[in-house]
Structure 1
Amino acid sequence: MKILKSIKKYFLKCLNKYFVFMIGIFITSSAFCDPAADPLAATVLPQIQALFGPTSTISYCIYLAEIIVGAVGYVKTKNLLILIGVPILVIFTSAMFTYIGGK
Structure 2
Amino acid sequence: MASVLGKVVSRAISTTRVASGQAAVSGHQDGWKLWRKLTFLVALPGVALCMLNVYLGLDDAEAHSAPPFVPYEYMRIRNKRFPWGDGQKSLFHNPHVNALPSGYEHTDEHH
TM interval, shorter chain, is 0.3 to 0.5
Higher relative contact order, chain-length normalized (CA < 8 Å, sep 6+): 1
TM-score, length basis structure 2: 0.33
